[in-house]
Every structure is written in structure tokens, then in C-alpha cells.
Structure 1
Amino acid sequence: MLMSNTDRPARLHYMANGFRVLTPGDHVTCAVSGARIALEDLRYWSVARQEAYASAQIATEQLREA
């Protein structure tokens, strides 16, 4: 039986122009808000911190703190 990636968190390696899937899944969790982000909706992340963000506002706030 094939395993479904539905409702499983993915593990990703974030790069400057994209990300590589290390462990298949259908979503990641925002490092700040804890919101679930579908992989097809993932637009914001930090390469240095290797974490995902749910919105541009959250990503900007994290960059300012760094």
C-alpha cells in the first residue's frame, strides 16, 4: 500500500530560489505563528534560519529581529 502525503508535515531544505523536499508531506508550520502552510502556498522562508513563514509581514518582522 502506498503512503499518502496528505495531512503529514514535510521537512524541507530552504534555498535562495526554492526548497528541496527532504521528507514528503503536504505542509510546513510557520516558525512564528504556528500556522499550517500548504507547500503550494509557501512563499516566505529564511535560508539562514531554515524556517518557513506564513506571510510577508511575519517574514519581514523576523528579518528585522535578526
Structure 2
Amino acid sequence: MLMSNTDRPARLHFLMNGFRVLSPGDHVICAASGGRIALDELRYWSVARQEPYATAQLASEAMAPR
């Protein structure tokens, strides 16, 4: 039986200009908000932290010095 990637989180390795899919899925979970991000809508992430973010604002807040 074939497994569907629908409604399953992907596991990614974030690179400077993209990402590599380690485990297939259709979304990732935002590290800041906990919301779902469809892979085709994923635009923001931290290479150093290996975390995805839903928006530029969430990414900036997460990476701001504390």
C-alpha cells in the first residue's frame, strides 16, 4: 500500500538558499507560533537553529538578541 504525504509533517534540513526533505510530508510546524506551514508556502527559516517560521516578523522576533 502506498503511503500518502497528506496531513503529515515533513522533516527538513534547512540550508542557506533552500531546504532538503529528510522525511516527506505536506507541512512543517512553525517554531514560534506552532501553526502549520504548507511546504509550498515556507519562506522563512533559521539555518543555525534549524527552525521554520510562518512569517518574517516571527522569524525576526525569534532571532532577535535577548
Runs of 4+ aligned residues of structure 1 deviating over 6 Å after TM superposition are none
Shift of 1:63: 1.6
What SS is found at the alignment partner of 1:65?
A: coil
Deviation sequence 1:10-63 (CA, Å, 0-9, x none): 000000000000000000000010000000000000000000000000001112
Give the aligned residue type for 1:46: S
Aligned to 2:41: 41
Aligned to 1:9: 9
Shift of 1:65: 3.2
Give the aligned residue type for 2:32: V
Give the aligned residue type for 2:4: S
Query: Taking every aligned residue pair, what percent have the same amino acid on both sides?
Result: 73
| Matched pairs, number | 66
The two structures, once aligned, show a CA RMSD in angstroms of 1.0
